[in-house]
Amino acid sequence: MNLIKPNKLKPGDTIGILATSGAVESKENVLNAVKFFENLGFKVCLSENAFDKYRYLSGSDEKKTEEFHKFFENPEIKAIICMRGGYGAIRLIKKLDYELIKNNPKIFCGYSDVSALSAMMLKKSNLMTFWGPLAQSDFGVPDEFTVNSFFSALENDSFSYSPEQDKIYKRGYAEGILFGGNLSTIVSLCGLDFLPDENFIFFAEDLNEPAYKIDKMFTQLINIDKFCKYVKGIVLGDFLDTDNNQWLDEIFCEIGDKLNIPVLGGFKITHAKEKITLPYGVNAKLYADSENKKLILN
């Protein structure tokens, strides 16, 4: 893959806040996010559908697609931060102009439901995007750890992360490009051509999913021959509010044994307040043993 890396963000640049998924739950948080970036010396542009509501969505698919394209075409906007997750991103993926995105590369960041957009932009546009904080929930109520990780990921070409907890499910070493996101969102892409065509390290997290559904979703991926061929390691974040953590640990050990690849958990890839920022498509090295537990990105 000839990965396209966006330009670095500089003070004075314009950041676009784009509504791609669920309807805004807190207008106050969104306005706080605008102030947060302005206080750092950035200009901010809100998408026209920022506060639209159509059922549980941030406006119509047509308006969201239009704003998506406008933000990528606008040369003044250097970075796009998604408004929130929820649901709605997969409704857009067949409507997006991936050539337009490829020809106008810029920073694009979000997590949860936004994982669908990042995965497809990596596949169709070769664009390096970021799994990271959202405007409403993160920059609207900024957390120091999350903010520092975000800007560190944007500013540095190489860095590493270590897990917060010792969760080695399968020991080993792996190399590949970094790919993944919210597990249920990634699985919603099944049936499409969404997987990388080269070795990759898969990262995953989720929220409010019982153990059997997490088992089902990983099994759905493992049933794809291409997934088994190219996945070389798995990095796990939080699976918050699940029903049985012991079962989950057993499932992750089974996955490592079944695929015979290293599986390392305990990373702050999460819906919780403190989260790291990860770039899609970069070269990654995963170390999972008692002496060395880390993910190196460059």
DSSP annotation of 295 reads: E
145-177 CB burial, b ≥16 within 10 A, e <16: ebbebbeebbeeeebebebeeebbbbebebebb
Enumerate the domain spans of the chain.
14-155, 159-297
Distances (CA, A) of 84 to 93, 103, 133, 262, 263: 17, 25, 9, 32, 29
pLDDT of residue 297: 98
pLDDT of residue 106: 98
pLDDT of residue 103: 98
Rg over CA atoms, the chain: 18
Mean pLDDT of 223-241: 98
d(CA 94, CA 187) in angstroms, rounded, equals 16
β-bridge mates for residue 109, sequence order: 81, 130
d(CA 262, CA 174) in angstroms, rounded, equals 7
Q: How many CB atoms are located within 10 Å of the residue 191 CB?
A: 7
255: amino acid identity, one letter: I
pLDDT of residue 291: 87
Over the stretch 28-54, which tens digit does the pLDDT of each residue have? 999 999 999 999 999 999 999 999 999
Q: How many CB atoms are located within 10 Å of the residue 234 CB?
A: 25
d(CA 284, CA 276) in angstroms, rounded, equals 15
> Helix crossing, 245-259 with 211-222: angle to 10°?
10
Mean pLDDT of 172-186: 98
Q: Helix, strand, or coil here: 238?
A: strand
d(CA 243, CA 238) in angstroms, rounded, equals 13
pLDDT of residue 1: 80
The 3-class SS string of 50-110 reads: CCCCECCECCCHHHHHHHHHHHHHCCCEEEEEECCCCCCHHHCCCCCCHHHHHHCCCEEEE
How is domain 159-297 classified at the CATH fold level?
A: Glucose Oxidase; domain 1 (3.50.30)
Mean pLDDT of 199-225: 98
**Closest alpha carbon to 2 in 159, 105, 99, 127:** 127
**Would you place residue 290 in the very low, low, confident or very high pLDDT band (cuts 50, 70, 90)?**
confident
Contact between residue 292 and residue 260 where contact means Cβ atoms under 8 Å apart: no
Architecture of domain 14-155: 3-Layer(aba) Sandwich (3.40)
Query: Is the confidence at residue 166, as pLDDT, over 90?
Result: no
